[in-house]
Structure 1
Amino acid sequence: MSNQPFPLTSAQKDLTNTQTSLNLALGFAFIPASVGAFVVLERETGSKHLQVISGVNFVSYWFSTWIWDILNYLVAATLSVLLIALFQVDSLISAEIFPWTCLCVLMYGISCTSFTYMLSFLFNSHTAAQNLLLIIYLFTGGILMIVTIILSILPSTKDLARNVLIYLFRILPNFCLADSLTNLITRQNPGLWLGVGCPFEGCEPYALVIAGYDLLYMGIGSIVWFAATLLLELAFATPKLRAFFQLRRIDVPREPGEPLDRQVQLEKERVQSGAADEEMVVLKGLRKVFAGRSGAPKVAVEDMYFGIPEGECFGYLGLNGAGKTTTMKMLTGEELATSGEATLGGFDIKTQQNQVRRLIGYCPQFDALIGTLTAREHLTLFARIKGMSERELHAYVDSLLDQLTLRPYADKQAFSFSGGTRRKLSLGLSLVGDPRCIFLDEPTTGVDPESRRCMWKLISSTMLGRAVILTTHSMEECEALCSRIGIMVNGRLVCLGSASQLKATHGYGYQFEVTFEASGDLERAHANLLAFLQKQFTGVRVEESVPTRPRARYRLPKGQKPISAIFRLVEDRRQ
């Protein structure tokens, strides 16, 4: 038995080739999804914010990103057109049609890239962006085209689909790609096109009803979507504009807090009087309220007043959640202040953010590095952003690598770095270009003691003539680097002064640690020691004293005996 089918009819060929256009639309949906994921990832990790703070103009950022994404797209587009030619889809690769096939594929890349940039502002997670954008482009491409074809066949919806819906659907780039390729394939089918004014032999490829409308929509749309992206970026990057477009302003009435420490009150009065207006960093009543997860708003920063002159390193000490990082984010424009104001170098952080960014270097709490760049490439990139000349660039980068002890990692990609190495590189990026004001948000977290000392030495040697704000959990770090320290609790600045002033004012006294002989009667030793200390001092605090352990720790009040007498007492009673 043998089977010899009849040749395919014109309609059957059109149907088979139309599947090609639908499959292309479904396949091309993956490209903008990956584009959107990378854009959101840079915003999610803070890499984009760090570049903008360092001096990247947002127009330059988006244009360079667009050019790179288009170049990447051209690789996939070229391979796709080659596959169409290899599989001999004649209705798309004939001499008359082939240039228009290429133009439709090219315009899709230009349009969908801009459209994806605009949609990227809807997402905060790059994984969610990739998944949802893929679904959007799958449904608005091949699947929506199938729906349109079905609606065009049904008598009750034919006019609606052809006269209204198709013009709305063409706003979507993926639909334009599927529609234009489908029209090019079927343009010589008289049954489809005689009713819209085409001759019996078919319309020209560039006719509006064939590829013309789709190309116009994609061309104009690419400009409109890119302009919308720039406007959204401008609104997000300018605190005053972002506040204007903010749909919901979250605030709570001020609650009377605990009485201010004397030094905090004096600093507040100094700032309010205008005596600190000429200093590099000035905060006047800065306040931030977040929407609470359980419904009740959370006051993260409350009425912050202080000024920092050039040449001073200000230590910001406090527990996690005290409001240190939030203050940094408000000063760099990443977060909007609920109320109050602040100036950097005399420029308002709300209205003059571009001028502010020229003054600051920023080391965020979470590393905002680009994983595929090496340490050398990071420093080179940010040095170029800061405007350093090529003649000095390589020597400057090598010098920074040596100061940061990053020479062994100079040509390794950042994603392979340990946490401590990433922190050292983040510190180096904040110092590039010698900014007048530096914000260091826990720069030594996760760094080994030896490297921490090197970083302290680098910070202290480079802070001359500039204002530095350093947040940390370590009093030792503040003592090593900071001339003035502010301690923050629950969003409030509760005390202020030098390390010695804080210890003298708020320190309880001395920490007294003892190790007993393990072979002795530990329970009796603990009891005898406590009784002895209580005879010598009034107000002894027991911090650690377990009768079965050979160690004990007490807090002794200051002022009752000089420290020399305490040491003499210990030596006399060692037994």
Structure 2
Amino acid sequence: FAVSAVIITICTMNSIFQYSDKSVVFTYFFVFGLSAITLSFLITTFFSRAKTAVAVGTLSFLGAYFPYYTVIDATVPMAVKVAASLLSPTAFALGTVNFADYERAHVGLRWSNIWKASSGVNFLVCLLMMVFDAIVYCAIGLYLDKVLPQEYGVQLPWNFFCTLEFWKGKNKKPILDGDNKHSCGEVNEWKNDYSNEATQYFEPTIEAVSLDLKQQENDGRCLQIRKLRKVYKTPKGKCCAVNDLQLSLYENQILALLGHNGAGKSTTISMLVGLLPPSSGDALVFGKNILTDMEKIRKQLGVCPQHDILFPELTVKEHLEIYGILKGIEDDALGVEVHQMINEIGLHDKMNTIVRALSGGMRRKLSLAIALIGNSKVVILDEPTSGMDPYSMRSTWQLIKRFKKGRVILLTTHSMDEADVLGDRIAIMANGSLRCCGSSPFLKHRYGVGYTLTLVKQSPCASAAADIVFRHVPSAALLTDVGSEMSFRLPLASASSFEGLFREIESHIESQCNTTVIEGKNTDIEKNCGIESYGISVTTLEEVFLRVAGSDCVENEPYDSVKDNVDVEVVLEPCFGSADTKVRSTKGDSWLSTKTANKIFSAICSSFVLIFSTFCGVLGLCQTKNHCLVENAETPSFLEHFKALVIKRAICARRDKRTIAFQLLVPALFLFLGLLMLKLKPHPDQVSVTLTTDFFNPLLQSGGGGGPISFNLSLSTAHEVANHVKGGWIQKQKPRTYKFPNAEQAMADATYIAGPQMGPSLLSMSEYLITSLNESYQSRLLCEHSPEVRLLSFMWVDQTILQPSTRNFGRDLDAFSAAIIVNIAFSFIPSSFAVPIVKEREVKAKHQQIISGVSILAYWISTYVWDFISYLLPASLAMFFFYVFGLEQFVGRHNFGPTLFMLLGYGPAVAASTYALTFFFTDYSVAQNVVLLVHFFSGLILMVISFIMGLIRATKHANKFLKNIFRLSPGFCLADGLASLALRRQGMKLGSGEAPLDWNVTGASICYLMLESVIYFVLVMGFDLLPSMPLCWISVRSWCTQRLGNKYYSNLPKGITEPFIAPAVESHASVLEDEDEDVRAERLRVLSGAAKDSIIYLKNLRKVYPGGANQPEKVAVQCLSFSVQEGECFGFLGTNGAGKSSTLSMLSGEGHPTEGTAYIFGKDILSHPKASHQHVGYCPQFDALLELLTVREHLELYARIKGVSKSRFNQVVEDKLTEFDLWPQANKPSCSLSGGNKRKLSVAIAMIGDPPLVFLDEPST
């Protein structure tokens, strides 16, 4: 903030602070900056979400200025002002009073006079209070950061600073022997103790370790997890996420930790790295306890989290340099190690590329490098290869193997191949408990389930193949029979029967080959079993995992209730050790017996049900001949879409209590506090002025006094004082002498001494009275604006006896301040409008709704209506507060209507203008802050500028013109209209009439607000429809690139500029030199028109992304041409960055091709985007989910959007919950789902309504 203080000082040194010491000015702003930073830090301790913290922080900062209105009067005691200065914005505002007084006296604030009070304020006290505030805010913030409950981190007791260990810096030594009393130490003494509760202990299968590894435990050269336990409180009771986990990880080894979604892997990692406090138990990391020595542990800890935590604007090299410095790498060795790590992860050519421009796989490599740099002794890798292509995955495996020497590595993964290749030891968790741990051969031998025989049939209907298998191995079990492939489970004991089985299968295959070469010869069905080929494999690690963890994969899931809409109730009774889930029926018999449930759960694990369900679902779609299932789907109407979207907003609003409170209640609270401060503002009685005819004497004399001449005001000084007195009303008098005890005080008071001396230059009685009474709180006389009215007033004065009359000047000024407060409070409302819109676009949820059938008009109309309804509450509260605080300027008999019209017009106008602003943002938190600032400055600041310009004669004409431009902002319309109502009676809004609805009072504001409500909404529709319009903007695009340049063009919002990327004039569809023959043949087939009957085909589809300042254009998709037939499952493979997601993005309508096109059901995606996408289901690469909707509510939303008939609505939703095994998570919000369950939900959304075409972008990642 020092740089900002220097800039402010330089900018104001010759204008605002012309006479003050520049070091005083710099110190003033610098100290305030320190207090503002510490105040922001204090506010952040109460919040875990950035958007809420920013919004409430801004509101709190502005609210801390309100006490200034109450204590500014000189009659307020200094002790009260010091107390108010505990809020640093108030102390800062009070300091401006001293600056104003001393600058007006041409003296300025200096270090020699900062201790002298003026206007009842002491500048030195303000300065010291801001320093004191900074220290207090920092201390309170550090304390609250330790003791307040946070989403992550270990919470300390409120009195932790009273303990002896805190002051001496000594840690409580953990128990190191084999005793079972591994408590959490002092850190956990204030937590609920669950260790005495009854548990059902499950004895895991553990492979014995060698003596060398045992010696590591004795030497403290390993990671020991000792009865670690984590219990959460849920609405249904306590849920044990990690249950007495006891495990050892050894140096030079990789432990692969496996488990289904929700098994407790991530919770375990969070406790090991200090993000979550354990409920009981502990862990030792090279002899250091995670409860008491976490700061020391983190110095040798490297973590690759499940989701990349990177700085989007930093490069790869800068990331590694920062983390290298944090891990203590010496400066001379930092550069070498950074370059070595960059070469290891294969990102040398991306070394200076910012993270925002990296692909998902590259980001995972960078996260892995951050975990490994600095010679971290303990490395925790949470799914390090997720999102990588097979080539990158294999190279990453080799990298992890090379770096395991001298390290303890904990690896979690859902890839059984990865665990098999990397894991020296493999541990499997289920329901928070350890089930088994050992090497891969040990687990396969211990849990071997036999062999898997796979037969490929000649035709799907061939069934004689199964008879051969059962004849030789009666105990065989049929696993799958899908399409032309079937598989069997063969027990290990049946190995002796394999020879005869294989001979018979091979004989059938050979006889089939011999009979097919004989032309015209028919083969009998009994002799030809239809087997084309076969294969056999032994037990895999995946099968071991399914057998160990499959039977418990969902038992310990905490959820509210399952299958609400059917006659079944699942009751969760948490039992620590092995949580049991009892399934009972509320009507009739049990829907699922325990025996049947065990068979299902033992066969399929939740981690792999996604792949199986997706595969079966796609095959089912392949057999669908119609383009939509008539029995399930109807053509939804606009009202049905509108209803579905409003229900969505209502559910999100009901759950997002913080946002709703911020949108509806906080502005009202802010307004209430501001009006309360104005109400408490003192209004001291002013000296009364008696009006007599003596004032009509053309020469006004004032009293004066004389005394010994000890200080003479020189002529030059007198002229200087006179020149700075406005109005030219100084009477020329004979020189007079005054006695001043202090020369500086004399200069400071010179203006006020000279001020009352008024003489013949006074032009009229009215000017004198207005000037004399400009501070009056009691009366007003002759301040009409128009000459006609003024003339009538003079005639009235001359012919009528003056009668006493009282008019409340101060109330009008308070109403003007209230108008400012209203504008500040209402500036927060539009920022809450922007958040859900930008967030849905950021996570691609809006595109998911559009491609599912929602029209652009339905989307925006539903948003418009919901936001206006929600706006009515703060608007109503504002009117209520105007009544409570007696602001007749707003709610009087003639002013109620105009105020109500402005508030009602402001809501839709500011909502529509906010929607237009959201197209320029891709991050919802940035959008919230910028929208807040835009409406704040375009409303309040412009109103103040206009008000000042209206008072200055030279700028009145310019102000009238600028007002028409300023009124394009809804905030200015509201602020100017309220200010005009407040000051209408005082004549300070020149040109305004008496009627509240006159054009210059509120009429213009009301008309502009109504017009803006329509115009901005039409503009929003244009912005949103522009990308979906036919690409006929080649001339516009060419002009933009030629006139503005590629650099400027690439920085424009993509949502608006995408249509300008029109097909290039020249063709890039020429055959590549290295093009495969099959690819060339497919291209020629498509171009010749032979693929027109395909369900989808691409013709020279090409996508080019604009380059940056130093980067060339990137060709993401190069002239793709292929077709997909109905009933075909088309596999689309490629490395990271090959263009797979870009292609699917264009096919789904999210992106736009640079050249070429594609046809879906015979419709061109460019000229008929809605028609081509109305029967498409889309699962994007990254989950397009609404975090506040539950799994069931997601499916219900898209079922309504896709027009599922009411008669089958509940059945369709429940079928998807069953098919994708999502019943345990049915009533959980998507933000609390694991990554695997989110992918299952995304695929279920794509397939709901049975669309004939489904795009699945890495559905099982």
TM-score, normalising length from structure 1?
0.73
Secondary structure at the counterpart of residue 393 of structure 1: helix
Mapped to 1, the partners of 2:415 and 2:504 lie a distance apart of 31
Match of 1:185 among 100, 113, 136: 100
SS at match of 2:237: coil
Deviation at 1:345, TM superposition (A): 0.4
Question: In 1, Cα distance between the equivalents of 2:491 and 2:440?
Answer: 18
Distance of 1:275 and 1:487 partners within structure 2: 21
What does residue 88 of structure 2 align with?
A: 173
Write out aligned runs for 1:369-380 (5 A): 369-380=310-321
> For the structure 1 residues 421 and 274, does the alpha-carbon distance in structure 2 shift closer, same or farther, using more than 3 Å as the test?
closer
User: Per-residue CA shift, 1:181-212, capped at 9, x if unaligned?
Assistant: 1343246999xxxxxxxxxxxx9433363212
- 1:475 alignment partner in structure 2: 416
Map 1:145-224; keep pairs closer than 5 Å. 145-149=68-72, 152=73, 162=77, 165-186=80-101, 204-207=113-116, 209-224=121-136
Aligned to 2:33: 109
Return the offset for 1:283.
Answer: 0.9
The AA in structure 2 aligned to 1:425 is L
Q: How far, CA to CA, are the matches of 2:351 and 2:409 in structure 1?
A: 27
Please report how far the alpha carbon of residue 482 of structure 1 lies from its aligned counterpart in structure 2 after TM superposition.
0.9
Q: 1:436 to 1:303 in 2, by over 3 A?
A: same
Aligned mates of 2:60, 2:346 — CA distance in 1: 47
**Per-residue CA shift, 1:347-384, capped at 9, x if unaligned?**
11111122222332211112121222111111122222
Q: 1:571 deviation in Å?
A: 3.2
Say whether 1:284 aligns with 2:226: yes
The CA distance in 2 between the partners of 1:295 and 1:189, in whole Å, is 68
RMSD: 3.3
Q: Cα offset for 1:133? A: 0.6
Aligned residue type for 2:349: P
Partner Cα separation in structure 2 for residue 112 and residue 169 of structure 1: 16
Distance in 2 (alpha carbons) for counterparts of 1:480 and 1:448: 17
Match of 1:554 in 2: 488
Q: Is the 8 A contact 1:538 1:557 kept in 2?
A: no
Q: Tell me the distance in 2 between the aligned counterparts of 1:405 and 1:183.
A: 62
Task: Give, in whole Å, the separation in 2 of the partners of 1:246 and 1:118.
Answer: 26
Match of 1:132, as an amino acid? Answer: V
Residues 535 and 83 of structure 1, relative CA distance in 2, 3 Å threshold: same
Moved more, 499-508 or 210-219: 499-508
1:236-289 deviation digits (Å, cap 9, x = unpaired): 99858467599764758645346323328x79xxx9999667341101100011
Alignment match, 2:605: none
Letter in structure 1 aligned against 2:293: Q
Task: Return 229-238 or 504-513, whichever deviates more.
Answer: 229-238
Maintained 8 Å contact 2:20/2:103: no
Q: Against the structure 1 CA distance between its residues 480 and 207, is the aligned structure 2 distance closer, same or farther, given a 3 Å change threshold?
A: farther
Distance in 2 of aligned mates of 1:182 and 1:483: 73
How many residues of Structure 1 are paired with residues of Structure 2 in the alignment?
466
Partner amino acid, structure 2, of 1:122: F
Mean Cα deviation higher: 476-485 or 348-357: 348-357
Identical-residue share of aligned pairs (%): 26
Q: What is the alpha-carbon distance in structure 2 between the residues aligned to residue 245 and residue 186 of structure 1?
A: 57
Aligned equivalents of 1:244 and 1:111: distance in 2? 32
Change (3 A) 1:485 1:211: same
Question: 2:56 is matched with which residue: 117, 132, 138?
Answer: 132
* Superposed counterparts of 1:485-524, under 5 Å: 485-517=426-458, 520=459, 522-523=460-461
Counterpart selection for 1:298 from 214, 217, 239: 239
**TM-aligned CA deviation for residue 492 of structure 1:** 0.8
Between structure 1 and structure 2, the one with the greater Rg is: 2
Secondary structure at 2:385 match in 1: coil
CA distance in 2, matches of 1:248, 1:259: 25
- Check the 8 A contact 1:240/1:351 in 2, yes or no: no
CA distance change for structure 1 residues 114 and 537 in 2, over 3 Å: closer, same or farther?
same
The 1:466/1:134 distance shift into structure 2, 3 A limit, reads: same
User: Retained in 1: the 8 A contact 2:242–2:264?
Assistant: yes
Q: Secondary structure of the residue that 1:336 maps to in structure 2?
A: coil
SS in 2 for 1:282: strand
Q: Which has the higher contact order (CA 8 A, sep 6+)?
A: 1
**For residue 366 of structure 1, what is the aligned residue in structure 2?**
307
Match of 2:399 in 1: 458
More helix by share: 1
SS in 2 for 1:291: strand
Read off the aligned partner of 2:26 and give its amino acid letter. C
Q: Map 1:303-342 to 2 at 5 A.
A: 303-342=244-283
Q: Distance in 2 between matches of 1:225 and 1:280?
A: 42
Task: Give the alignment of 1:344-423 within 5 angstroms.
Answer: 344-423=285-364
Give SS of 2:451's match. strand
1:20-59 maps to which residues of 2 (within 5 A)?
Answer: none
Which amino acid in 2 is paired with 1:544?
Answer: T
Q: What TM-score results when the alignment is normalised by the length of structure 2?
A: 0.35
Q: Could you tell me which amino acid in structure 2 is paired with residue 225 of structure 1?
A: Y
In the alignment, what sits opposite 2:473? 537
Aligned partner letter, 1:531: D
Question: Is the alpha carbon distance of 1:420 and 1:553 closer, same or farther for their aligned partners in structure 2, counting shifts above 3 Å?
Answer: same
How far did residue 317 of structure 1 move?
0.4
Question: Which of 410, 432, 455 lines up with 2:373 in the alignment?
Answer: 432
Q: Is the Cα–Cα contact under 8 Å of residues 97 and 184 in structure 1 kept in the other structure?
A: no
Q: Which residue of 1 aligns with 2:972?
A: none
Deviation (angstroms), 1:118: 2.6
Q: How far 1:396 sits from its partner (Å)?
A: 2.1
CA contact (8 A) 1:361 1:439 kept: yes
Q: 1:389 to 1:335 in 2, by over 3 A?
A: same
